[in-house]
A and B are shown apart, each in its own frame.
Chain A
């Protein structure tokens, strides 16, 4: 018999609120929250903000789920940072594996595209990234350069967060971290 773990389910539901704030920024509550707690940034990057209420702190506690389980769909590439953001759907943690040497002036994903916004600039890719990254990046489709970049929830086929898939994601991550913990324990004992 498998009952829901209340705490995880709670977090999955709160993440839904965060997702709603992110996807419909014009609703009354999103505007109130934004002006009060994070007027200059997005809910996913913000800290709790000044004098947070319990509702704000509750939702803040669930932000990591959205952060961890989403990946950018590349449109214009203007809003996605190469080294920090999640934007490679083929990697396990959606991040670039190559280490940022900090010497190039490439910061945004846009810098890796051809100047006309059509397709990837293969020269730049091969010159700066490990093969595993550059081959993954070339596979990423660019959804018309006029389109905005958008966050996609990776546990649903249509990219929209649902509480059900959120709960499932938490359980998958838990199981993963347990197996890694167990294997590392076994290695230590050997």
Chain B
């Protein structure tokens, strides 16, 4: 009887654990109020009650909700592609060496598939068939051989993939109060079996990517870090802002690409891969995975009728990221070509430093050039061609330009005439890092303090035990500043403020109630190695 009860309790705990989606939670509280509150809060946040259609009327009716979302997404994934000029792919011609080609062309092995299946996170949201990766991990002994057979048949013999390629689109809200369908981020929930296939492909491609992909792209490749890009950006803006002679300055352009993944054209992917020299078999499988998709949108847990997309790659499919950076390579190489032809001058921050004309982090693009109208024209030409070929849309309203301080207004106007992007005094953040510091670093970095405190002060955190609060501090509050800390030294005052907030949370204070701190702050932050 007792063991039975224990078993049931454990099951309930697991259920809440999965439901609350607090991936940082390792130990501390078990099945407590905290989890319950966290999951009900999530539910409330993700429930869609009303929506505005494009004419501005708000609807609450369930069937109408479905049809509005269906219309919206069918529209996004619909393609009216009419670009058939193949010269654009010349820049990426024959990038793959024979050695890499042979590596890519070898048949897939059972070992690779097994490795890939193990890489998929066990408790993440499942696809339409409702099986999480945990199921595959747990029962690999029983189903393993069948899975291997099935997957290898698809990978090596081009078996049919259509029946497993149905995908749910889950809507993740971008802002707090939602009314428009644009304000949701579509995340795809694929079947795990499909993920195993694409992950195997991705693992294969990943290994040759460093030989192909430009140094200016720092996403998804082992050995390259986001901080590399932010550091270069920081240094370059430092250089741009240096005082120098009149009108001989530089400009930094931050481009915002709208719906980058969803609007990538399939023809463009196919032609890019072909031009790069990927083996035809591999291209066939990749294109099969991308094009045989059918989508259903999940609205408050209920799927809509399925529809067929005509373009776009899925966010949430392991292969998509690599496909995307391969396609972005075309843009990168076009800029490179113009740089070689002296149409665009990159910025070298020192005499012998490599000239930098652009930096990419997936769809975060930043361009640097001399503030001359000719260069604006060259950039605009490239962007126009790239947009037409790839289906990507640069959002000119959300993009920004920053000029050296010595550039006069008329000069800026002339530049802007060719590249219609609004100018601003400084980009606040690129990849989450400040690009420029004013006189007071503490003020510029104060947002860290706000973010830490906002994670701690919430009402639901009150229901945590001491141990649970400790885990929350270590896993959440102290993890927030780490990203900035990997590039910049935080001012001492700011460190102290953060530590003070952590202390008051630990002892149970919040905005309107103060509690006694029962021991010195130093004792909380003492290290293991100190001798008592």
On A, residues with C-beta under 8 Å from B are 1-7, 9-11, 13-14, 16-17, 20, 24, 27-29, 31-33, 35-36, 39, 51, 53-58, 61-62, 168, 171-172, 174-175, 178-179
- Say yes or no: B528 contacts A171, CB within 8 Å: yes
New contact pairs (18) apart from A5-B499, A35-B349, CB-CB < 8 Å: A3-B502, A6-B478, A13-B482, A13-B485, A14-B489, A17-B227, A29-B228, A35-B350, A35-B353, A51-B242, A53-B234, A54-B234, A54-B441, A54-B488, A62-B489, A171-B527, A171-B528, A171-B530
On B, residues with C-beta under 8 Å from A are 215-216, 223-225, 227-228, 231-232, 234-235, 238, 242, 348-354, 356, 437, 441, 470, 473-474, 478, 481-482, 485-490, 492, 495, 498-499, 502, 506, 524-531
B353 proximity list for chain A (CB < 8 A) = 31-32, 35-36
A171, B526: Cα distance in complex, Å: 9
- Say yes or no: B478 contacts A39, CB within 8 Å: no
- Say yes or no: A1 contacts B529, CB within 8 Å: no
- Say yes or no: B223 contacts A24, CB within 8 Å: yes
A54 proximity list for chain B (CB < 8 A) = 234, 437, 441, 488
A9, B470: Cα distance in complex, Å: 18
Q: Which of B235, B352, B531 contacts A55 (CB 8 A)?
A: B235
- Say yes or no: A178 contacts B531, CB within 8 Å: yes
- From A34, which residue of chain B is reached at the shortest CB distance? B353
Q: Is the interface of B mostly helix, strand, loop or mixed?
A: loop
- Say yes or no: A6 contacts B499, CB within 8 Å: yes
A172 proximity list for chain B (CB < 8 A) = 529
A24, B234: Cα distance in complex, Å: 20
Q: Which of A9, A16, A32 contacts B235 (CB 8 A)?
A: A32
B234 proximity list for chain A (CB < 8 A) = 53-55
- From A51, which residue of chain B is reached at the shortest CB distance? B242
Nearest 10 CB-CB pairings of A with B: A35-B353, A36-B350, A171-B527, A58-B489, A53-B238, A35-B350, A175-B529, A6-B495, A10-B485, A13-B486
Q: Which of B227, B351, B481 contacts A35 (CB 8 A)?
A: B351
Rounded to whole Å, the gap between the CB of A181 and the closest CB of chain B is 12
Rounded to whole Å, the gap between the CB of B504 and the closest CB of chain A is 13
B490 proximity list for chain A (CB < 8 A) = 6-7, 10
Rounded to whole Å, the gap between the CB of A52 and the closest CB of chain B is 9
- Say yes or no: B350 contacts A32, CB within 8 Å: yes
Known: A35-B352, A36-B349, A54-B437. A9 touches B485 (CB 8 A): yes
Could you pull out 18 A-B pairs where Cβ atoms are within 8 angstroms?
A2-B524, A2-B526, A2-B527, A6-B481, A9-B478, A10-B495, A13-B486, A14-B489, A16-B486, A28-B216, A29-B228, A35-B350, A53-B235, A53-B238, A54-B441, A54-B488, A168-B529, A175-B527
A24 proximity list for chain B (CB < 8 A) = 223
Rounded to whole Å, the gap between the CB of B214 and the closest CB of chain A is 10
Q: Which of B238, B474, B487 contacts A58 (CB 8 A)?
A: B487
- From A55, which residue of chain B is reached at the shortest CB distance? B234
Most chain-A CB neighbours within 10 Å: which of B227, B231, B354, B474?
A: B231
A178 proximity list for chain B (CB < 8 A) = 530-531
